[in-house]
Structure 1
């Protein structure tokens, strides 16, 4: 059996210093739990692999114990022969050899105890289902290494929370495997510390705090940051974009405009000598979102984009007046 002993101990959920009687108890408990006849069709394949792997692990550890017992007996016998040779004493008699053999047999633990099966049940062993114990252990190893699927949830934040950072308390329900192998629900509370500048789609992972499945490592709980729609600003990278509508007459003749930043500070602009045309943009440097992972105090910008609102209808008199006014404009 070429599998590492560490994996055998992991299969039986025991440690290296576990005494033989406790190894046998762990084996009996696991084979009862994972006997394929106790599992529904959808999990029977996994149960078969687990059952065979448990049996192989127990047999491997049993062989190791027997080998150690034989080596100890041989060492003792060799020591006695060496002492006898040094003392020029007689060789061991047949009676002594028989007694030594009896002691060696007594030191070995009893063979594995396969749980009793009804006549209608199939009795599984580590050599069943083509390929033998090694294949069974390979199948089991794939279950051990595999993680249960991640439990995914969203955590919604406002733009203000993503700008300043915040502490979010999230509650969710996860599946846990009980001692008897059943699935139970458990409510969990986790704290997520949102850092300033985090973007939509940022993931926070709590390893091993997701759903549990028999034969698998616990899955992770993964929370993905989502951003609530803001009534004024739209985020583009580390910049904040604000769209402002300005009537055509104000865009041509002068206009005053004010708004508040995310932090609450008020910004006011007055346009007198400049004409606001379609696509006109004004920038407030360093008042955007914090740059996550950037230099201390680094921030994006606030970009205000003006949308000139043209009138939908004009009277003939208005048209003639505009022609006279705008005729000389370049």
Structure 2
């Protein structure tokens, strides 16, 4: 058979940790539903392909078990023998019965003389038939297709990205009902935002997107977006703060304070130095957390913008010229 186990579970619409008894029950229900003799000519080709795929998937999952006794031990207690399936054919005295006899249409239709629909169907879809293999390939290919992802933005404040937080996301997805109808369903998921996450980071919920008939469920993808901050701007792992300084304070001394994203208060004083245009003060390890390095943080860069007066009187100009004479 040679296909990945995930494919067989998808064909039977089962999770990977399904028990053997649940696999048998799912198989029984699916082959009854998709037996071609129960379908009109318009849907018979699809039913034939699905019936073949379901049967082959079931047999493949049985073959994966190194010890076949995991599927049940017969009443006489001998390991390695499978019990009768669904009240159908049991095992012979040798402990092994031909699986083709009990997994195909004869389990659900009376055994009769050659020429009956059940017998003829088994001939057409026997493992050596190229049409059967082609039907399985076509159906399994459609099963393994995945619906387009459901994509949404998850907006976070700079504080949330700095400290980390939990955010509940609610969204609407398409779900296929048992009757084949597509309906809208409201769902919610919890996202644990880790300190230091950046915009563009994607959180993927596998199989939680839209469902489409004949396809694997889509993934739901949430992409982190960063809400604009009134004080700080993020540049990589660093934070940038722009501070406007009046010209007189830039020349004679200045003090100011602000709060970091963590809430910590920081003060900066300039008494013995002149703040020149383009001056930048770096405060180490007060930036954003670095996800890849536990305990590490970026820097905080304070960039100063000198605010010049818009106009001066003649007296002020003369005074400044006298004061600043010889300073340069």
TM-score if structure 2 supplies the norm length? 0.68
Question: Equivalents in 2 of 1:218, 1:196: separation in Å?
Answer: 31
Equivalent pair of 1:148/1:218 in contact (CA under 8 Å): yes
Count of aligned pairs between the two proteins: 270
Root-mean-square deviation (Å) = 4.3
1:54 corresponds to: 50
Residues 202 and 270 of structure 1: CA distance in aligned 2, closer, same or farther (over 3 Å): same
- 1:294 Cα deviation from its structure 2 partner: 0.8
- What are the residue-to-residue correspondences of 1:163-312 with 2, within 5 Å? 163-295=162-294, 297-312=295-310
SS in 2 for 1:324: helix
User: Contact 1:280 / 1:305 at 8 angstroms: preserved in 2?
Assistant: yes
Q: Which secondary structure does the structure 1 equivalent of 2:209 belong to?
A: coil
Unaligned ranges ≥5, structure 2:
15-19, 58-88, 93-110
State whether residues 30 and 54 of structure 1, in contact with CA within 8 Å, keep that contact through their aligned partners in structure 2: no
How do 1:149-164 residues align onto structure 2 when only pairs under 5 Å count?
A: 149-164=148-163
**Which of 309, 325, 328 is the aligned partner of 2:326?**
328
Separation in 1, partners of 2:4, 2:150: 32
- In structure 1, what is the equivalent of residue 32 of structure 2? 25
> In structure 1, what is the equivalent of residue 103 of structure 2?
none
Between structure 1 and structure 2, the one with the greater Rg is 1
Q: What is the CA distance between 1:175 and its match in structure 2?
A: 0.8
Q: 1:277/1:210 Cα in 2 relative to 1: closer, same or farther (>3 Å)?
A: same
Shift of the 5–31 alpha-carbon distance from structure 1 to 2, 3 Å rule, reads farther
CA positional deviation for 1:277 = 0.7
Over 3 Å counting, the alpha-carbon distance change for 1:219 and 1:112 in structure 2 is: farther
1:110 matched to 2:108? The reply is: no
- SS of 1:230's equivalent in the other structure is coil
Aligned to 1:110, the other structure's residue is in SS state: helix
- 2:326 is equivalent to residue 319 of structure 1: no
In structure 1, C-alpha distance between the alignment counterparts of 2:215 and 2:228, rounded to whole Å = 39
Output aligned runs, 1:4-83, within 5 Å.
11=11, 17=24, 24-28=31-35, 32=39, 50-51=46-47, 53-54=49-50, 56-57=52-53
Q: Distance in 2 between matches of 1:256 and 1:9?
A: 68
For structure 1, the residue ranges without an aligned partner over 5 or more in a row are 39-46, 62-68, 73-102, 114-124
Q: CA deviation at 1:171?
A: 1.1
CA drift of 1:283 comes to 1.7
The 8 Å contact of residues 12 and 26 in structure 1, kept in 2 or not, is answered as no
> Deviations along 1:14-67, whole A, 9 cap, x unmatched?
9875799766513238975xx7958xxxxxxxx97x455225547979xxxxxx
Q: Is the CA contact 2:37–2:117 (under 8 Å) kept in the aligned structure 1? A: no
CA pair 230-245 structure 1, distance change in 2 beyond 3 A: same
Contact persistence 2:12–2:26 (CA under 8 A): no
- Offset, 1:317: 3.3
Residues 274 and 58 of structure 1: CA distance in aligned 2, closer, same or farther (over 3 Å): closer
Contact 1:251–1:275 (8 Å) recurs in 2: yes
Contact 2:31 2:55 in 1 (8 A): no
How big is the shift at 1:217?
0.5
| CA deviation map 1:57-112 (0-9, x unaligned) | 47979xxxxxxx9xx9xxxxxxxxxxxxxxxxxxxxxxxxxxxxxx9958x98247
For the residues of structure 1 that align with 2:230 and 2:260, how far apart are their CA atoms?
Answer: 12
Q: Deviation digits for residues 144-181 of structure 1, max 9, x if unmatched?
A: 11111111112221111111111111111111111111
